[in-house]
Structure 1
Amino acid sequence: MRKIVLALVLGLAGAGLSAPAAAAGPRLDSVRVWNELAVAAVRATRATDADAARTYAMLNVAVYDAVNGLAGPARAPALVPGPGPRGADPQAAAVAAAHTVLVRLDPDRTAGYDTQLQADLAALRPGHRRDAGVRWGREVAQRVVTSRADDGSAPVQSQPAGSGPGVFRAEWSGTQYRAVRPFAVTDPARYIPGPPPALAGLDYAAAFAEAALLGDAAIPAPDKLATFRFWSLPSGTGQPPGEWVKIALTVSHGLPLPTSARLMALLTMTLADTTIPTVGTKFTYRHWRPATAIHEAETDGNPSTRPDPDWAPRAGSAGGTPEYPSGHSSYSGAAAAVLAGFFCTDHRSFTHTTDTAPGGQARTYPSFSAAAAEAGRSRVYGGQHFEFSNQAGLAIGRDLAAEVLATRLLKRTGPTHHGSCPL
């Protein structure tokens, strides 16, 4: 019993649950409210997954640094060091920082952001503390926005269409993200894996056969189609990073502002940085999608594969970027690892409904890794990826998340949150 109690205490301490809320007065769930607004903005603007991840990271870096700068600062900053003005209200700083970022990134919905800001500030006690918090939050957010203005995310670049066996055939855009400046890791290129299996080899033939069977639109499989659709998340949704933002908001309900701000900053910086090696890997290897591979199997030099010119993916489309790795898997592996590391356990049950859940039906998962595994596997069910690309994506995300947890937003003195929880 003593060991169980001790483990619970350590888990709560690692997640920051033992610390009292930093701010007195009315409780605003500002981290949740403004992240939900960011997800809505991504939907409305039809942002790509890469642009979405960058938006979420900018918002949460600004909120974290605004709050952390008024706490001592007790932890290392994400980008903007404190200290902020003495006695300023952290809640006011958080909402002002979030508002400033979203107005800059999504000016078409400024009126709605202004309305939310006024409602949030009206819930706080007026006076010097609130006003100082607002000024500090705006200053931090402006510095975040300025810092990311030249991060390499624009202008948009493309890779021309390829040709020949094993090569992705269409032109695709967004390739500038292979060299964008990271938020948290030192060298994103170190997470680019080796090449996919050789076309003539047995491993490729096995993955080919699996994708051809499980992803075949002509074979009825309602369960696999539903799983694919649940995690499909195309343009016009919150994108895969947005689903993990939503999951994090669910499992972090009730945390104090400094703790929830730190979680969301860790998560979204990791998601944004995961984009870099994911796009870099796609750009480097230009691997063909299953639809092309199956249609043209006679060209791959593998005696164990057979062409099927009538084969169609269960997803209804082949996919718009090179196949290796699966970006859904990269984001999911990264997010699941951050959440498990933050809460000191992977085994945390939660219920979730994605933007593309058939009939809006929720699913319940026993762990973060179980949700990530299903998200990755769904791409094979959709006929859009091979399993080796799912596994490569999950590994990219997990490995990159480990660096972020080990090096970023750590306590300046005393025990910190990394590794065995806590150290």
Structure 2
Amino acid sequence: MLKLCVLLLSTLLMAPAYADVVSDWAEAAPKVLQKSPRGQVQPATLLTDLAMFNALNAITPRFQPYGPAPTAVPDASPDAAVASAARTVLGSVPGADQSLLDKTYEASLKAATDAAARAKGVALGKRVALALLALRADDSHARVEPPKVEPAPGIHVLTPEYKQESGVGLARLKPFGIKDVSAYDPGPPPAVGSAVAQRDLVEVKAVGGRVSSQRSGEQSVIALFWNSGEGEDAVGMLKTLAEANQATPLEFARMLALMDMADLDSRIVYVGLKTKYRHWRPYNALRGSFADARLRDAGWEPLIHTPPNSDYPSGGAVGGGNLQTLLKAFRGDSQAPLVWVNSALSMTRSWPTPEAMGQELANSRVWSGVHFRNSVDVGYRLGQKVAEEILATQLRPLP
């Protein structure tokens, strides 16, 4: 009985970990992977989240693990387990900054002062990370060229500053959380010349142009805010929410993993749809070879540069739907602040509800002149559905 009490006491003393251990690695990951192949950064970031989550969950099991359940190690150091898990995943990515990786690792281990617990944490973290890497060993990150499509009304054509489409290879990845990519196909976009297509073209021409008398100053600010920033900006927003809710490192790692899983799976879905439907952007519809004669404007420019992929559905709006659904779940009944700091613009915005935040992100794509309203509406619903499936099936609380 005495031995059990001593073990329980030591576990309770170690369990909290330093509150920043997970966020330290989440913020370090984009810097470590800055020179890595672009297509590998997002999957590696998600695997890092999952490795940190699985490691902490093996110390204090509260949720279903991702993939095979690791053996419980209740007396392992949480700091060492997180550091070892993150280092193992990030160190496996080509081009990773090994010097920064080692520096972050050594800083994390300083918190693990018990030598035996530190050794167990290091072993646990490495073990769960290698298991996850093995689970995704068949992933291919090679670039894929989209099939050639003959120019025609409604078909997307890259704007002059781009030579190739972005993100096409993502469509080959197996999703991490959702079961069936094809279940998310909403069907084709509105036909060129239809009432919906005409409505959307009139709207985006009026409010999405670089020069617009109908877009308000606030809408211009929102459009620019959501179309710039750094990868770790979302981590800062989640960290603020987690701190307000007094989330544990395990709970914070779960939030990160669910958010990045919904984001990556959504991208896999919408990149496939963009490649399938190849729907043109407002730029094409207003000044391309097949532009509508009634609305053609050879001098029209969107507020921001048109991205190098097609319109339907809007990836930004998908992200808005993701955020609305996930933040509503993470926030629960609390009134924890929803604050996003755009580090590129040194600008901060806040919202009273997850719905307000998600809808603002979605609307920004029309106000910036790069998407049609229908593509935004379809994308938003798609993002909600993906997030709902992720929340319902992944990293669920144990009974």
TM-score category, normalised to shorter length:
0.7 to 0.9
Change (3 A) 1:52 1:396: farther
Instruction: Kindly indicate whether the alpha-carbon contact (under 8 Å) linking 1:216 and 1:311 is maintained by their aligned counterparts in 2.
Output: yes
How many matched pairs? 379
1:196 to 184, 189, 195: 189
Question: 1:156 offset after TM fit, Å?
Answer: 1.1
The corresponding residue for 1:249 is 239
Moved more, 169-178 or 258-267: 169-178
Change (3 A) 1:46 1:143: closer
Instruction: Kindly indicate whether the alpha-carbon contact (under 8 Å) linking 1:346 and 1:367 is maintained by their aligned counterparts in 2.
Output: no
Does residue 232 (structure 1) correspond to residue 222 (structure 2)? The answer is: no
Instruction: Kindly indicate whether the alpha-carbon contact (under 8 Å) linking 1:365 and 1:371 is maintained by their aligned counterparts in 2.
Output: yes
The corresponding residue for 1:218 is 211
2-structure distance, mates of 1:26, 1:86: 13
2:282 to 272, 276, 290: 290
TM-superposition CA deviations, 1:340-387 (whole Å, max 9, x none):
123325964322212443xx1211211222222111211111111111
The corresponding residue for 1:156 is 143
1:37-186 alignment, distance < 5 Å: 37-41=28-32, 44-45=34-35, 51-71=40-60, 73-105=61-93, 107-152=95-140, 154-160=141-147, 162=149, 163-170=151-158, 171-186=164-179
Question: 1:145 offset after TM fit, Å?
Answer: 2.2
Instruction: Kindly indicate whether the alpha-carbon contact (under 8 Å) linking 1:66 and 1:93 is maintained by their aligned counterparts in 2.
Output: yes
1:279 to 271, 274, 277: 271
Instruction: Kindly indicate whether the alpha-carbon contact (under 8 Å) linking 1:62 and 1:141 is maintained by their aligned counterparts in 2.
Output: yes
The corresponding residue for 1:367 is 353
The corresponding residue for 2:306 is 318
Instruction: Kindly indicate whether the alpha-carbon contact (under 8 Å) linking 1:245 and 1:268 is maintained by their aligned counterparts in 2.
Output: no
The corresponding residue for 1:265 is 257
Change (3 A) 1:102 1:260: same
Instruction: Kindly indicate whether the alpha-carbon contact (under 8 Å) linking 2:209 and 2:301 is maintained by their aligned counterparts in 1.
Output: yes
Determine helix, strand or coil for the equivalent of 1:246: helix
2-structure distance, mates of 1:146, 1:219: 52
Residue type at the aligned position of 1:167 = I
Q: What residue ranges of structure 1 are gaps of 5+ in the alignment?
A: 1-19, 414-423
The corresponding residue for 1:419 is none
2-structure distance, mates of 1:355, 1:390: 25
Q: What residue ranges of structure 2 are gaps of 5+ in the alignment?
A: 1-10, 159-163
Moved more, 343-352 or 125-134: 343-352
Instruction: Kindly indicate whether the alpha-carbon contact (under 8 Å) linking 2:89 and 2:130 is maintained by their aligned counterparts in 1.
Output: yes
1-structure distance, mates of 2:79, 2:220: 43
Question: 1:215 offset after TM fit, Å?
Answer: 1.0
Moved more, 206-215 or 362-371: 362-371
Question: 1:209 offset after TM fit, Å?
Answer: 0.5
Instruction: Kindly indicate whether the alpha-carbon contact (under 8 Å) linking 2:58 and 2:74 is maintained by their aligned counterparts in 1.
Output: no
TM-superposition CA deviations, 1:244-293 (whole Å, max 9, x none):
33321221124112211222222211111111111011011101110110
2-structure distance, mates of 1:145, 1:286: 33
Instruction: Kindly indicate whether the alpha-carbon contact (under 8 Å) linking 1:161 and 1:172 is maintained by their aligned counterparts in 2.
Output: no
Instruction: Kindly indicate whether the alpha-carbon contact (under 8 Å) linking 1:166 and 1:293 is maintained by their aligned counterparts in 2.
Output: yes
TM-score (norm: length of structure 1): 0.82
Change (3 A) 1:22 1:251: farther
The corresponding residue for 1:418 is none
Question: 1:226 offset after TM fit, Å?
Answer: 2.3
Question: 1:296 offset after TM fit, Å?
Answer: 4.1
Question: 1:96 offset after TM fit, Å?
Answer: 1.2
Moved more, 143-152 or 404-413: 143-152
Question: 1:179 offset after TM fit, Å?
Answer: 2.9
1:34 to 25, 41, 50: 25
